[in-house]
Structure 1
Amino acid sequence: MPRTYGNFIDGEWTESRSGETFDVTSPASAGETVSSHPASSREDVEAAVDAAVAAQGEWESTPGPSRGAILTKAGSLLADRKDEATELLVREEGKTRSEAAGEVQRAIDIFHYYGAKARDLGGVTKSASGPDKDLYTKREPLGTVALITPWNYPIAIPVWKLAPALAAGNTVVLKPASEAPSVVSLVFECLEAAGLPAGVANVVTGSGSDVGGPLVSSDRVDGVSFTGSTEVGTMVAETAAEDLKRVQCEMGGKNPTVVMPSADIEEAAKTIGVGAFGTTGQSCTATSRAIVHEAVYDEFVAAITEYANSLVVGDGLDDPDMGPHVSESELSSTLEYIDIGRSEGTLECGGSRLSNDDYDDGYFVEPTVFSGVENDARIAQEEIFGPVLAVVEAESFDDALSLANDVDYGLSASIITQDLTEGKRFVNDVEAGVAKINEKTTGLELHVPFGGYKDSSTNTYREQGDAGLDFFSSVKTIYENY
């Protein structure tokens, strides 16, 4: 039986002022309705902002350790409901059960991390230039912040914005993606049960035009954190800049992994395969380009084709190797790029929508590999957001590095090599916010900064770790003469 959820505004679960709703269906079986949510309006956004602004003073004055205790308790309550959250995420977004469980665990860990970090929120003391003077800084929250989050990591990304915002003393209005909003509601149930005061955190569901736009443009919102496409993120940043809001946008990627002759090619194919086809390629850090030295190019193409052909695709509840696309529109976009790729390279494997009794009702596509792709091809330059890998040939290390950088994005990049000099040169010179040696481009530690270069980011503030707290805090410098 599908569950009906509400907005969470000022500590109460409510319907939209319009009374309208939208349904979320399973990507593995489009006829199955998973949940129903409010199709909210500007009036709902204004009510949520009202509540957040009214709660700001009391929450800011709450001691950091007390704020942290609520976050830690919310993490523990989420851990108690991990199996429930995992299954809900699979049914809404389509991830495999293993992928979903890992994402839920990350959200739990983030709550515990920022619950502890809330104790460390202070300033620094500096030596004054004269006697009888004190000179020091203190951190203060921005105020009320808007969080706009995507569907591809529907619990981890909301929590990695929400937890540092609350730890720093901000109040929040969060708009989750409409494709998979239920796990966010579950998170807010945990925060409510953990004792979060009414109005401190609010969630409003609905479309980008009806909820996201009014939220970003509100003159009572002091900061905006967005994750999504470069096109939308650019509009968010421009709107936020009109009244000088602090803004942070993490956006698209076209992430390369370079393979050098010293690499173990079977291991390289596995590493790149996991990065390319894990989460159905629906990750901003997914490996979408393999840039391979000519000396091992043919061997690598054979190995990655074998790997892709070995993957089992199916309903995420059965925990296969790869689940479906999240929606019909995402599947259609991937299939369009595959059609483009047929004229830009050689199709080694995949390339079709899966269809039979097990697949007809879902948004399933085969893992797809193209070889012989030039780096200026559309499938090597444009973000596909699906399980499609373009394999590009390089003449040398310098050529591979140049190809890796010859793209508008700069989010994540890696190299597979046993040559220390190549590895060090690559991470120093690649134009990406995340650089790795002998690892896949996906996968992030929660206690270090995350963000991109070029069109992958607004290049303002990073997320996660101490950087997450930096975005949600202002620093005041205090001079005391006595």
Structure 2
Amino acid sequence: MIVKNLTGKPDTDSRNTSLFGVVHPATHEAVHQVERSSRESFSKALQICHDALPSWSAQPLAERCSIFEKAASLLQDGSTDWKSRLAEANMKETSVTSWWTNEQLDGVPLFIRELTRAAHEVLVPEVMNADKSTVHIERLPFGVCLAIAAWNAVHLLTARAIITPLIAGNTVILKTSEHTPYTQTLWAELLHVNFTGSTNVGSILAGLAGKHLKPSLMELGGKAPVLLLPSADFRIAASHILFGTFMNAGQLCMSTERVLVPRSRYDDLVAALRDAWASVKQKEPRALFSSVSTCRVRNLIKDAIARGAEPLTGPWKEDIGNLVTPIILGSGTAEMKIFREESFGPVSIVIPIEDDGLTNEQVTDHMVALANDSDYGLTASVWSTDLQLAQDVARRLECGAVHINSPTAGDLPSVPHGGWKSSGWGRFNGAEGIRSFTQIRTIETEKGPGHTLPLDIFEL
């Protein structure tokens, strides 16, 4: 099969003879061939989006929303095969589990319905009455948007990248991931750059957007910390740490990467983690999405072990191919590469915080300082039975979202999602997501017949 570029409609596919192959990361078998986009095919797509913009943005909001509400219904309708086709395509191109692909597909309808609700809230013009005039504040689309959605949560990220700007009245060109082009063509369609992926690629795109004075929205990498305060329930926290570390083989921007715990409670946490690990049924190595990613993760683990880290979930060995055995490391320090570098794999490291002779407040201060000692700032998790204390600590963390007594990997359709620092800027989801893809225009209307202005102020 050859996956083709779609420029507007399937029957207007570009005829590009330059192809590249998609290879399954676990089996290394060729999945299919994909057309490589040319300047001509991109220009064609761009022109189609420009031509469609006036009519699409002029569509009543209710009509725009109804299109996507129908898509949500099709995904939930058992009489259609859309959900199974999308799941099958995703598992054919990547080593994703059926649970993860279906979890996303179940979440997309909820996301769409929350987005349409928020659109009716955000896109209604606001009216302000001044003494002598009335001001209408309107939110309008930017125009043509380029959406670049990553492969690791392909259904949620693609739906979000396409539907949010479209509901706001923009038109969209979707640049698929080279790892999941067929899955994303099933979802299917540049003034505004919308990107979810690596920080390195994001910084390049941000530079291009800035050079041409284009607004951009970036959700990039993460190095999510878990802070276990002294009163935390370690048994429950341990299951959340494993979930946040190993979900999708750690290939999520919100994955748990660092776990901070008082030294006096370190052994309690280790015992809880080992008990939780014993209940995990699938302990086999997981295939990461590329050999480059696999090599990076292995090197981070080997560096940590060489510097004194201890495997807490059993012996670790270097696997073949793109396989990496899931692991929690203990006795971590800030000097290890894994403390700073995003792993994007099934590994996290527990870092004991010295607390001998220190007050709980001093230990917490040290935890917060270490958690913030990162270029990233996407998500974090704080654990404590003292909810007020947990909230106070959460407000000191330099990141876009903090989850109290829940995993770092969490995202609700109605809650703004995005990062600080090198984890990006702008927000997806709900009302904030709609606002991110609109620009404001104010229209001021004088009340009454108006009045003349004094011109003698210009006299010297």
- TM-score normalised over the length of structure 1: 0.85
- Matches of 1:64 and 1:352 in 2, distance apart? 55
What is the DSSP-based 3-state SS (H/G/I as helix, E as strand, rest coil) of the residue aligned with 2:152?
coil
Aligned to 2:233: 264
Aligned to 1:195: none
Aligned to 1:44: 41
> Structure 1: where are the runs of 5+ without partners?
189-200, 202-220, 315-319, 356-361
Matched, 1:467 2:432: yes
Aligned to 2:334: 375
Matched, 1:249 2:214: no
Deviations 1:298-333 (A, max 9, x none): 22123324534654448xxxxx8x842122222222
Aligned to 1:129: 131
Aligned to 2:454: none
- Matches of 1:126 and 1:176 in 2, distance apart? 42
Alignment of 1:65-464 (within 5 A): 65-79=62-76, 80=80, 81-120=82-121, 121-130=123-132, 133-188=133-188, 201=189, 221-308=190-277, 310-313=279-282, 323-348=286-311, 349-354=314-319, 363-394=322-353, 395=355, 396-457=363-424, 459=425, 461-464=426-429
Give yes or no for contact 2:195–2:202 (8 Å, CA) kept in 1.
Answer: yes
Aligned to 1:317: none
237-246 or 85-94, which deviates more: 85-94
Aligned to 1:206: none
Give yes or no for contact 1:341–1:379 (8 Å, CA) kept in 2.
Answer: yes
Give yes or no for contact 2:377–2:421 (8 Å, CA) kept in 1.
Answer: yes
Give yes or no for contact 2:255–2:409 (8 Å, CA) kept in 1.
Answer: yes
1:94 maps to a residue whose letter is S
Give yes or no for contact 1:17–1:40 (8 Å, CA) kept in 2.
Answer: no
1:400 maps to a residue whose letter is M
Give yes or no for contact 1:4–1:37 (8 Å, CA) kept in 2.
Answer: yes
What is the DSSP-based 3-state SS (H/G/I as helix, E as strand, rest coil) of the residue aligned with 1:435?
strand
Deviations 1:239-276 (A, max 9, x none): 10112101111111111001122222221111111001
Alpha carbons of 1:87 and 1:17: their partners in 2 closer, same or farther (altered >3 Å)?
A: closer
Deviations 1:102-150 (A, max 9, x none): 11122232233334444442221111222xx321111110000111111
Deviations 1:413-452 (A, max 9, x none): 1111112242021111111100111010002001111111
Give yes or no for contact 1:345–1:370 (8 Å, CA) kept in 2.
Answer: no
Number of residue pairs the alignment of both structures matches: 432
Give yes or no for contact 2:119–2:431 (8 Å, CA) kept in 1.
Answer: no
What is the DSSP-based 3-state SS (H/G/I as helix, E as strand, rest coil) of the residue aligned with 1:462?
coil
What is the DSSP-based 3-state SS (H/G/I as helix, E as strand, rest coil) of the residue aligned with 1:480?
strand
- Matches of 1:117 and 1:428 in 2, distance apart? 26
Alpha carbons of 1:253 and 1:16: their partners in 2 closer, same or farther (altered >3 Å)?
A: same
2:147 maps to a residue whose letter is L
What is the DSSP-based 3-state SS (H/G/I as helix, E as strand, rest coil) of the residue aligned with 2:151?
coil
- Matches of 1:134 and 1:371 in 2, distance apart? 63
Percent identity between matched residues is: 30
What is the DSSP-based 3-state SS (H/G/I as helix, E as strand, rest coil) of the residue aligned with 1:418?
coil
- Matches of 1:21 and 1:87 in 2, distance apart? 23
- Matches of 1:323 and 1:74 in 2, distance apart? 32
76-85 or 447-456, which deviates more: 76-85
83-92 or 178-187, which deviates more: 83-92
Aligned to 1:35: 32
Give yes or no for contact 2:198–2:220 (8 Å, CA) kept in 1.
Answer: yes
Deviations 1:214-238 (A, max 9, x none): xxxxxxx211111111111111111
Matched, 1:479 2:439: no
- Matches of 1:118 and 1:405 in 2, distance apart? 34
> Structure 2: where are the runs of 5+ without partners?
356-362, 449-460
Structure with greater Cα Rg: 2
Alpha carbons of 1:346 and 1:305: their partners in 2 closer, same or farther (altered >3 Å)?
A: farther
Let me know the Cα RMSD of the aligned residues.
Answer: 2.0
Give yes or no for contact 2:294–2:323 (8 Å, CA) kept in 1.
Answer: yes
What is the DSSP-based 3-state SS (H/G/I as helix, E as strand, rest coil) of the residue aligned with 1:29?
coil
Aligned-pair CA distance for 1:477:
0.4
Deviations 1:29-74 (A, max 9, x none): 222x333321112222111111111111111111111111111112
